[in-house]
Amino acid sequence: MAGLTGWHLLVLVLVILLLFGAAKLPALAKSMGQSARVFKGEMKAMKEEDAATQQNVADAPVVSTTSENSAPPRNDGGNSGTPTT
């Protein structure tokens, strides 16, 4: 596909003009602009929140999940060492 050319854009504008009419186009453009502004603001807020979360994670102390007094796990395949007949 070659993408949108000038003719494609012209046909698209004409279809939009026929569907919505010339009177509603300014209101449609204003609504789209407001939506884009809100979306951009929300994306910026999410990035700032993620950066703050990453900073908090980096500053948090590391907690070990193993105990120093615990015995190492057995590696005998689950057998208790007693033979069964």
What does the alpha-carbon distance between residue 32 and residue 62 come to, in Å, rounded to a whole number?
46
Query: What pTM did the predictor assign?
Result: 0.46
Q: Which residues of 42-54 are buried (b: 16+ CB within 10 A; e: fewer)?
A: eeeeeeeeeeeee
Q: What is the pLDDT of residues 14-71, one digit of tens each?
A: 898 888 888 888 888 899 999 999 999 999 999 999 988 888 877 767 666 665 556 6
CB 24 within 8 A of CB 32: no
Neighbours of 72 (CB within 10 A): 6
What does the alpha-carbon distance between residue 85 and residue 82 come to, in Å, rounded to a whole number?
10
Q: What is the pLDDT of residue 33?
A: 94
| Domain positions in the chain | 26-54
CB 17 within 8 A of CB 25: yes
Between 83 and 33, where is the model more confident? Answer: 33
Q: What is the pLDDT of residue 56?
A: 80
